[in-house]
Structure 1
Amino acid sequence: MTKDRSFKPMEGTSSNLTAENISQLKTLFPEVVTEGKIDFDVLKTILGEEVDESEEKYKFTWHGKLASMQTAQQPTMKTLLPHKQSSLDWENTGNIYIEGDNLDALKIIQKSYAHKVKVIYIDPPYNTGKDFVYHDDFSTDTDSYLAETNQTDSLGSHYATNTESNGKFHTDWLNMMYSRLKLAQTFLRDDGVIFVSIDDSEQANLKKMMDEIFGEQNFLAQVIWERAYSPVNLKKNFSISHDYILVYARNAQDVVGNGLPRSGEADSRYNNPDHDERGVWTSADLSVGPAVESNVYPITLPSGRSVLPPNGYSWRLSKPRFNQFVDDNRIWFGEEGDGVPRIKRFLSEVKNSITPMTVWKYEDVGHSQKASQDLKRLFSGKAYFSYPKPVELIQRMLQLYSNPDSIVMDFFSGSATTAEATMRLNAADAGTRRYILVQLPEKLGEKTEAYKDGYRKLTEIGEKRIQLAGETIAKEHPEVTFDRGVRVYSVANSNLVRWNVKSSVSSIDFLEENFVTGRSSEAILTEVILKQGLDLSYPVETRRIDGADLYIVAGGVLYVVLGNQTITLSTATAVADDFRRSNMERATVVFQDNGFKDDNEKLNAIEILNDAGFQYADIQSI
C-alpha cells in the first residue's frame, strides 16, 4: 500500500455536528449503516418499544424550528481576528472576549472548548418588545417580512427591537434561542451547569425549549431572583419584582453543587445550654409524618410524664435507636426535663455549606438598581448601560457550581458583569477561573451618554468595564494575584482565499495567493489554532528561520510555518529536531501551501518530518 506523501489540506470549517452525530450512531449501532447511510428502519427495530410512532404525542413546535436545528448543525468557515491593541496582558491571560454574533462565535470556538466549560450564564433578550433580537440566515423569508412591516431600514439593516406583538414575535425569539442553546449544550462538561435569566414574556417557552435540548431529567431549578425592592404603584394590577433563572445540567447525575458558605446568622442558631463537650448544637423535631406504625410508641420524659407523637405522625427513630440516642446525650428534653423530645444537631457535624433555596433575595444577591449604581461607580458616575445584572447574582452561580480552575462562559455578555464576577471570586478564593465572553458589537446611539464620551460600540463599554473592574478589585485585594487580563477577538470571514468559479480571477492566479490581503500572520495562526481545536490561551513560541515564521504552540502540540516562498528545508529540519526533543507521541505541523519555492522542496520536507516521527496525516497545508 503506497503512502500519501503530499500535504493534507487543513480542515477549513468548524465542527460538523451532523457528521459527529452520525459517527456516534455508527459506533453505537454499526448494523444501521447501509452503503454509508443510516437505515432508520433498522434503527427503529433496534430501539424497539422506545420508539414512539403514535400520531397523538406531545410536541413543542413553531414555524422555523427545523431550520433553526439545521442552523445549529451547520459548520461555519468564519474565524476570529486577534486585537492585541484592545487586549490586556495578552501573553499571560486566559480570558477571552469576542466581538460578534454569538452564533458564529460559538461555532468557531466549538472544537477548542467542547465539553470543557463548567458554568454558562446568559442573560438573553427578554423579548419584551423593546429588546434586540438576532435574525439568523435560516429565516429565508425574514428579510421581506421585516421590510414589509417596517422593521428594517432601506439598506435592510435590522432595527434594534422585536416590535411585533403577534405573528413572528415569539417565533423569531424561539428560533434565535434554539440554535444558540443547542450549541451551548455541546460546551458543557458532563458536570457542567447552565443558568439562563428570563422574565414572564418567554419563561414558559424557554422552559419547554430547555427541557427538549438539555432533557427534563437534567432540570435542576427555577430560581426566583428578587430584582426590585419597592413596588411600582403606577402598575394597574401587579408590580413585578422578580425575574426567573432556569438552571439545567449537562448530566444531573454528575453534578455536585458546592453549596453556599455558612453565614453568621445560620451559625448563631447554635448554642450549648447543657454544656455538651461536642460543642454548640441546635435541635430538630423528633416527630415526622405520615406515621410509621412501628415508630408510634410512648416516651417517658425525665420529669416522669409520658408523651406520644401528634396524631398522624410517628417518631423519627425506632425505639431501640431512640434509646441509643438517649444514651449518647443526643436527645433534648428541655431545661426542666419536661419538654417534647428533640434531636440534637451539632455544628461540628454539619456540612460547611448550605443548600441554596430557589428564592434569591436582593439582600443576598443584589437588585437591579444596585447593579446600575455599581456600574456607574466604575465609570465615574456615568450611566452607560441599562439594566445590568448584579455582580453578586452571577458570583453566587459561580460559587455554587464552579471549581477554582473552571472555564466560565457568557455569550450574551452585555456590560461584561460575568467577567467582573469571575475576577471577584478568583480574588476571594485565589482561584484561576477563566471566562469566555461574547457580545454583538451593537452601535450606540449618537444621543447616548456613552457616545458623547467617545464610545461607539457596546463592546467597547464591556472591554473598558473589564479593565476598570480589574483595577478596582486589585486595589481592594492587594494581597492576591489574579488574572486581570483579557484577549479580545472579533468574528470575521476566514483568512483563506476561496476561489469563486464565477470570479474573473483565474484559478492559476488564485493559487498564487493563499490568504486575504491585509491579514496578519497572527490572524492566520489564530485560525489554525481554532481549526485544530486547541485552546486560544496556549503559549506560543515564535522563531524566524530563513525568512519563514515558525510558531510552536503549547510546547510542540502544533507547529505552524508561514512564509511566501521562504520556507526551506532548514525550517522542516528545525521542526523535526524540536519534535524529537519534545518526546511527544504525536503532533501536527501546518505549512503555508505556497510557502515552498517548488514541489521538490515540499516532498523533501515531508520526508524529513516523517522520519522524525510525524504521521503523514499530521503534515498539513493551509
Structure 2
Amino acid sequence: MEIKTFNELYTHEKIFDFPKPVEVIKKCILISSNNNDIVLDFFAGSGTTGHAVTELNQEDGGNRKYILVQLPEAIDEKSEACKAGYKRISDITIERNKRVIEKIIEEKKNEHPDLFSGDKKEETLQGLGFKVFKLVKSNFPRVEFAPDPEKTEEENIELLKKYISDKEAQLVSAFNRDELITEILIKNGFKLNYSLTKQEEFKKNEILFATDGDKETLICLDVIIADETVEYFKSNTDKKLVVLERALDTTKKWNLKHYMGEKFKAF
C-alpha cells in the first residue's frame, strides 16, 4: 500500500503549502542508506521523511527508523491549517505520520483481516509507530552550592548535606515518571526506541525492564527500595539495575554496589 502524496492524507484540507514529494525522499533514502539505518531530518516540516521511511519499510521489509526534528513554530492564525486546529508546524508533523500509520493499518485489515487475530497482531503492527519528545529542562537539578567563607568547615558540610537532601526531595516530589525514565536511559546510552516491560516477579517494588534492542537494564523509580528487592539483586548479580539514590539508605546502597559492581547505578 502506498500513499503517494501529502494531500491524500488531507483530502479536504489545505494544510501545508509545499510538502516535499514522498517519492523523491524515498529515492534519496534508498540511494544513501541501508534498510536498517536511522534517517535523521532536522527540518521535518510536514513530516515527509517519516512518511517515506514508513512506506519503504512496508515495501521492502526494512527496519529503518527515523528521527524528525521540528521547532514548535507557530502557524499563521489566518491559515487553513490553523482553522483546522493546528497551532504549530510540529502538530502537522505528528498528525501526518499518525495518519500514514492509520492508513497502512486500515489497508492491512481490509486485505488480511486474519493478521489481526491472536498472536499475529503484535507481529503485524511491529515497526508501525513513533514516539514524540520535546526539549525540557533536566530532571536533575544543577549543583550550585557554594561554601560560606564565614562558616566553619563542619558547618559548610552540614549545609551541603541539607542542600543535597533538598534537591533530592525536589526530584522525587516533582518528577514526571516518563520524562525521568527517558533521561536516565539516554544518560546510559539507550536509543530513543526503547521499550518498557513491568517485571511481575517483584512484589515490593515496581521494576521495569528497559531495552532498545542492543542495551538492556532493570529500572526502578520507587522512593524506597525494599529489603526483599535488595536481597534479590544480591543473588542475581548478572542483572543491571538503575534506581533513585534517594531510595536507598547507606546499607542498601553498599550492598547493591558491593554485589553488583558496575551493573548497579543510582541517580
Whether TM exceeds 0.5 here: the answer is yes
Q: CA-atom RMSD, angstroms?
A: 2.9
Alignment partner, residue 533 of structure 1? 189
How many Å separate the matches in 1 of 2:38 and 2:9?
A: 25
Question: Structure 1 residue 510 and structure 2 residue 173: aligned?
Answer: no
TM-score, scaled relative to structure 1: 0.35
CA deviation profile, 1:375-429 (whole Å, cap 9, x unmatched): 2331232122222110011000122233332222212111110111111112221
Is the 2:234–2:255 contact (alpha carbons within 8 Å) kept by the matching residues of 1?
no
Distance across 1 between alignment mates of 2:206 and 2:185? 15
Q: Unmatched 5+ residue regions in structure 1?
A: 1-370, 581-586
Aligned pairs (5 A) from 1:35-434: 374-434=5-65
Equivalent residues of 2:199, 2:208 under 8 A apart: yes
Task: Give the superposition deviation at 1:537.
Answer: 2.2
Task: Please report how far the alpha carbon of residue 573 of structure 1 lies from its aligned counterpart in structure 2 after TM superposition.
Answer: 3.0
Matches of 1:430 and 1:578, distance apart in 2? 38
- 2:266 and 2:197 mapped to 1: Cα distance? 20
Letter in 1 for 2:190: L
Equivalent residue letter for 2:209: I
Q: What's the counterpart of residue 251 of structure 2? A: 600
Are 2:222 and 1:571 equivalent residues in the alignment?
no
Secondary structure at the aligned position of 2:219 is classed as strand
Structure 2 vs 1, CA of residues 619 and 520 (structure 1 numbering), >3 Å: closer, same or farther?
A: same
Matched residue SS, 2:62: coil
Q: Secondary structure at the match of 1:553?
A: strand
| Conservation of the 8 A alpha-carbon contact between 1:497 and 1:513 | no
CA distance in 2, matches of 1:459, 1:438: 9
Which of the pair has more CA radius of gyration? Answer: 1
CA–CA separation in structure 2 for the residues paired with 1:475 and 1:603: 54
SS at match of 2:230: helix
The separation in 2 between residues aligned to 1:567 and 1:496, in whole angstroms, is: 20
Q: What one-letter code is carried by the residue in structure 2 that aligns with 1:377?
A: E
| CA–CA separation in structure 1 for the residues paired with 2:245 and 2:170 | 7
Q: 1:438 to 1:517 in 2, by over 3 A?
A: farther
Corresponding position: 1:500 with 2:157: no
Displacement of 1:569 in angstroms is 2.9
- Secondary structure in 2 matching 1:431: coil
Q: Is the 8 A contact 2:204 2:228 kept in 1?
A: no
TM-superposed deviation, 1:508: 5.0
Distance 1:444 1:413, change over 3 A: same
* SS class of match (1:488): coil
Find the aligned partners of 1:382 and 1:440 in 2 and give their Cα distance: 22
**Which structure's relative contact order is higher, taking Cα pairs within 8 Å and 6+ residues apart?**
1
Distance across 2 between alignment mates of 1:577 and 1:447: 64
- Alpha-carbon distance in structure 2 between the residues aligned to 1:516 and 1:498: 15
Q: Which residue of 2 aligns with 1:308?
A: none
Residue aligning to 2:152: none
How much has 1:577 moved relative to structure 2?
A: 4.8
Contact in 1 for aligned 2:233/2:256 (Cα 8 Å): no
Change (3 A) 1:591 1:380: same
Structure that is richer in strand per residue: 1
**In 1, are the aligned partners of 2:198 and 2:207 still within 8 Å (CA)?**
yes
CA 1:413/1:571 → structure 2, altered by over 3 Å: closer, same or farther?
same
Which ranges in structure 2 are unaligned for 5 or more consecutive residues?
116-123, 147-158
| CA 511–599 in structure 1, closer or farther in 2 if over 3 Å, else same | farther
The 3 A distance-change label for structure 1 pair 552 and 473 is closer
Return closer, same or farther for 1:572/1:411 CA change in 2, 3 Å cut-off: farther
Give the distance between the partners of 1:421 and 1:375, measured in 2 at CA: 11
The residue type paired with residue 77 of structure 2 is: E
- Residue 620 in 1 paired to residue 265 in 2? yes
In structure 2, the residue matched to 1:519 is: 175
Give the one of 561, 576, 598 matched to 2:220: 561
